[in-house]
């Protein structure tokens, strides 16, 4: 049953946790099958890294990205098995690949290999210690963009994740990002804090990764999405195969326009947002964007039951 007022949202990097997906695989053969498929596509036991860790292994970008994608697709397949079909999908950064698997744009095996490489390319694009990211809280986009411009001083400093009216993440050269955090605090941000990330994602320093990924994505078969996908880089609905591929390429150096994407879906009549995959990061952002909308999640058996009941009542 397609429900016209429901969107499925898929989380990105930072939502990983040891044990993710384990509960669903123990109770649903579809979820178990998804992890088996990923293990086979990658040629190593991704499932082991997800279920048992260790945490520092799960934090390696080229493992984190396929791990979150696989956990999200496993949860989505269980929802699909129960007959739940959203009217729209969207994913935060890496999560956009999960959204495209759910929309039928990309095969799961292709997606899981693509994001493993994406993680590797992003990690290798900038030497460790050269780049940084920081979260700026309580400052609007225009003022954050001004801070970035003033802090750059010939280096790179750009808005990377426009997560909500309350939270914008900036990315770039470490010294420029450090200058920006000081400036943001001086100009009235509630807080500006450096983030413990391994690379400066979603800024122009990622151009080498973007070029390598573009070559990979050019070889993959993209289908017309069966469900409109709200894409990060334009905050627009994708309904064509080629546009989907191109948006995933541009996304590597482009800002994640999450706040704008959610508002786009609300304008389309979405009332209920379901975060499909590990963690509740997107539910938290939803509360900052529009508290009047229902924000649910599916990451384990308990949340699956609760969300299924909520959706069934609303249909």
Residues with a catalytic annotation lie at: 93, 202
* SS3 at position 258: helix
Q: What is the DSSP letter of 196?
A: -
* SS3 at position 228: coil
Cα 95 to the chain's mean position, in Å?
3
Backbone angles phi, psi at 161, to 5 degrees: -125, 110
Dihedral angle sign, alpha carbons of residues 188, 190, 196, 198: negative
* Cβ density class 4-27: b for 16+ within 10 Å, e for less: ebbbbbbbbbbbbbeebbbbbbee
Dihedral angle sign, alpha carbons of residues 51, 53, 58, 63: negative
Q: What is the DSSP letter of 223?
A: -
Task: Locate 257 and state its tokens.
Answer: 């326009």
CA distances from 282 to 16, 90, 93, 193 (A): 13, 11, 12, 20
Rounded to the nearest 10 degrees, how much is the dihedral formed by the CA atoms of 28, 29, 35, 36?
Answer: 170
**What span, in angstroms and rounded, lies between the C-alpha atoms of 129 and 127?**
6
């Amino acid at each position: 049953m397609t429900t016209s007022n429901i969107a499925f949202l898929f989380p990105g990097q930072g939502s990983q946790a040891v044990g993710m997906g384990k509960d669903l695989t123990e109770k649903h053969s579809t979820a178990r099958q998804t992890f088996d498929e990923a293990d086979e596509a990658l040629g190593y036991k991704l499932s082991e890294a997800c279920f048992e860790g260790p945490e520092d292994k799960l934090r390696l970008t080229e493992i984190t990205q396929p791990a979150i994608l696989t956990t999200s697709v496993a949860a989505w397949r269980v929802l699909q098995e129960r007959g739940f079909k959203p009217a729209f999908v969207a994913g935060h950064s890496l999560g956009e690949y999960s959204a495209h698997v759910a929309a039928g744009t990309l095969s799961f095996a292709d997606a899981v290999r693509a994001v493993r490489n994406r993680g590797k390319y992003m990690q290798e694009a900038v030497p460790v210690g050269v780049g940084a990211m920081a979260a700026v809280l309580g400052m609007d986009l225009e003022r954050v963009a001004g801070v970035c411009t003033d802090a750059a001083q010939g280096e790179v400093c750009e808005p990377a994740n426009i997560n909500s009216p309350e939270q914008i993440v900036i990315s770039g050269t470490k010294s420029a990002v450090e200058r920006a955090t000081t400036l943001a605090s001086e100009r009235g941000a509630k807080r500006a804090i450096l983030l413990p990330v391994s690379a400066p994602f979603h800024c122009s320093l990622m151009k080498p990764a973007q070029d390598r990924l573009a070559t990979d994505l050019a070889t993959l078969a993209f289908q017309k999405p069966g469900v409109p996908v709200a894409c990060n880089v334009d905050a627009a609905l994708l309904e064509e195969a080629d546009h989907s591929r191109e948006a995933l390429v541009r996304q590597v150096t482009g800002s994640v326009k999450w706040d704008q994407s959610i508002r786009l879906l609300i304008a389309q009549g979405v009332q209920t947002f379901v975060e499909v995959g590990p963690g509740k990061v997107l539910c938290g952002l939803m509360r900052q964007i529009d508290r009047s909308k229902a924000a649910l999640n599916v990451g384990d058996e308990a949340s699956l039951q609760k969300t299924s009941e909520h959706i069934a009542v609303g249909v």
